[in-house]
């Protein structure tokens, strides 16, 4: 649904209506109940009847930027004029079924060439207002399953090619995946993850699309493996391995996706490119699955991962459009749609999380500053939080000495 959206404007989020992609700087929703007021002659107090829940009215202020902005404006106009309900991809709430509340406004200006601005109001259908479409976690789970299935289908679609060329492409892609794994440095706390991925890639020798797909599934599944805390603590003398955090696994997964995207630019054939894209989407799906367990420390951290994931998926979908082999086009189109669906679901899920996270304050002192005094300054109204804030300031900024934070940007988790 975001097939033509090949970049993201800074500070804006992607959305779409009837498959027409756009960017959203502002969105609002009117919610409430349908109340009827009765006024009677000679009676000071009015009477009211509650007629139930009012359908939510979603207002979107959007824009489209591109060389084909006139064509996009015409397509958007046709989408607004089409009768019946349609799917709106809300940048925060995800997919929803809506009808047009009132005529939309599309604006073109001589002072803003290549830009289409519009404002539209949609009425969300009452039957779906309390349905699963309102749950971003359910939408993310469904989109994750869809892209994993599409990735396997894309890899299997290469079976139609000549066997000799296909075998060479599988050998090249497998070797490239192993070399990529050797260049990725695991974040702190996830040192054992990369050896497991390398072992999964080297466990079997892929000779056909099915075995190559199984190999990529085994390697990528290490990224999506949940590691909950055990219900019973180990014995004091036992050596327990600390599981990798969800954020560190997600970082490794995105490193694979970015590496695959870079390598796909030099793919010698469409078969090689399809194998690379299928492997990359396996890692994208498992990274999104791990996102459900992510423990973001701040809204800035969540925003940073959202931007990285959005950029990586954009790069994948852009390069998928370069596949021209007729036998691979249906699988490439399905994989591109699944990636865009996952992107929208992941953005909606992370945006829902961002609203519950604290912000990171930035201090810029002109002279060395004591960490304890800074903690007292920020949390003086909550003495019980000062000690934890002090430890976070020291751990987050890593000064040479806690009593002498050097001038510059100092981060404090609010």
Q: Note the pLDDT tens digit of each residue in 227-279.
A: 544 445 555 444 445 678 888 899 999 999 999 999 888 888 888 999 999 99
pLDDT tens-digit readout, 274-309: 999 999 999 999 998 888 788 787 777 888 888 889
Q: Are 114 and 66 in contact (CB under 8 A)?
A: yes
- DSSP letter at 119 equals E
Instruction: Check if the beta carbon of residue 329 is closer than 8 Å to that of residue 273.
Output: no
- Tokens (6 digits) for 223: 């990224």
Neighbours of 408 (CB within 10 A): 10
Give the pair of three-digit tokens for residue 171: 């050998």
Residue 121 per-residue DSSP state = E
Sequence-distant (6+) residues with CB within 8 A of 193 are: 186, 222, 223, 244, 248, 249, 252
Q: How far apart are CA 257 and CA 342, in angstroms?
A: 14
Per residue in 311-336, pLDDT (tens digit) is: 999 988 888 888 888 888 888 898 99
**pLDDT value of position 134:** 40
- Structural domain spans, the chain: 13-133, 136-227+243-354, 360-413
- The domain made up of 13-133 has a fold known as Elongation Factor Tu (Ef-tu); domain 3 (2.40.30)
The per-residue pLDDT for 356 is: 64
**In the structure encoding, which two tokens stand for residue 39, read together?**
């006024």
pTM: 0.60
Question: What's the pLDDT at 227?
Answer: 53
Q: CA–CA separation, 60 vs 62, rounded Å?
A: 6
Instruction: Identify the segments of the chain with pLDDT beneath 70.
Output: 1-11, 126-138, 161-162, 226-242, 355-360, 411, 413-414
**Residue 110, class by beta-carbon neighbours within 10 Å (0-12 exposed, 13-18 middle, 19+ buried)?**
exposed
Distance from C-alpha of 19 to C-alpha of 86, rounded to nearest angstrom: 9
Whole-number Å distance between alpha carbons of 353 and 303:
10
Q: Is 344:14 a contact under the CB 8 Å cutoff?
A: yes
Residues 6+ apart with CB under 8 A from 406: 368, 399, 400
Least Cα distance to 35 among 59, 15, 53 occurs for 53
């Amino acid at each position: 649904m975001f097939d033509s959206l090949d970049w993201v404007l800074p500070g804006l989020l992607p959305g779409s209506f009837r498959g027409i992609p756009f960017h959203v700087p502002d969105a609002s929703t009117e919610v409430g109940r349908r109340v009827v007021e009765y006024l009677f002659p000679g009676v000071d107090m009015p009477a009211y009847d509650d007629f139930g829940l009012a359908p939510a009215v979603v207002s979107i202020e959007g824009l489209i930027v591109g060389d084909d902005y006139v064509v996009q404006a015409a397509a958007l106009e046709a989408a607004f004029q089409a009768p019946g309900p349609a799917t709106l991809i809300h940048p925060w709430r995800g997919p929803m079924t809506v009808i047009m509340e009132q005529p939309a406004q599309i604006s073109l200006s001589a002072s803003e060439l290549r830009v289409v601005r519009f404002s539209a109001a949609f009425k969300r259908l009452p039957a779906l207002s309390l349905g699963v479409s309102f749950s971003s976690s359910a939408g993310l789970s469904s989109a994750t399953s869809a892209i994993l299935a599409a990735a396997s289908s894309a890899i299997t679609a290469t079976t139609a090619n000549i066997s000799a060329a296909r075998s060479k492409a599988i050998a090249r892609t497998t070797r490239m995946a192993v070399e990529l794994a050797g260049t990725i440095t695991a974040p702190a706390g996830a040192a054992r993850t990369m050896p497991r991925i390398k072992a999964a890639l080297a466990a079997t020798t892929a000779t056909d699309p099915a075995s190559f797909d199984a190999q990529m599934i085994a390697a990528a599944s290490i990224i999506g493996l949940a590691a909950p805390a055990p219900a019973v603590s180990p014995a004091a003398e036992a050596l327990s391995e600390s599981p990798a955090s969800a954020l560190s696994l997600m970082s490794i997964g995105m490193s694979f996706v970015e590496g695959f995207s870079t390598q796909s630019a030099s793919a010698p054939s469409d078969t090689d490119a399809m194998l690379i894209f299928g492997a990359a989407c396996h890692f994208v799906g498992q990274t999104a699955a791990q996102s459900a367990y992510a423990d973001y420390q701040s809204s800035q951290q969540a925003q940073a991962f959202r931007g990285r994931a959005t950029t990586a998926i954009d790069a994948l979908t852009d390069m998928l459009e370069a596949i021209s082999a007729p036998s691979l086009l249906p699988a490439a189109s399905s994989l591109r749609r699944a990636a865009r669906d996952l992107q929208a679901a992941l953005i909606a899920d992370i945006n829902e999380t961002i609203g519950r996270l604290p912000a990171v304050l930035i201090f810029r002192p002109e002279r060395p500053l004591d960490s304890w005094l800074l903690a007292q300054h920020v949390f003086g109204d909550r003495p019980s939080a000062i000690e934890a804030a002090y430890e976070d300031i020291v751990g987050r900024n890593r000064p040479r000495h806690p009593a002498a934070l050097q001038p510059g940007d100092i981060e404090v988790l609010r």
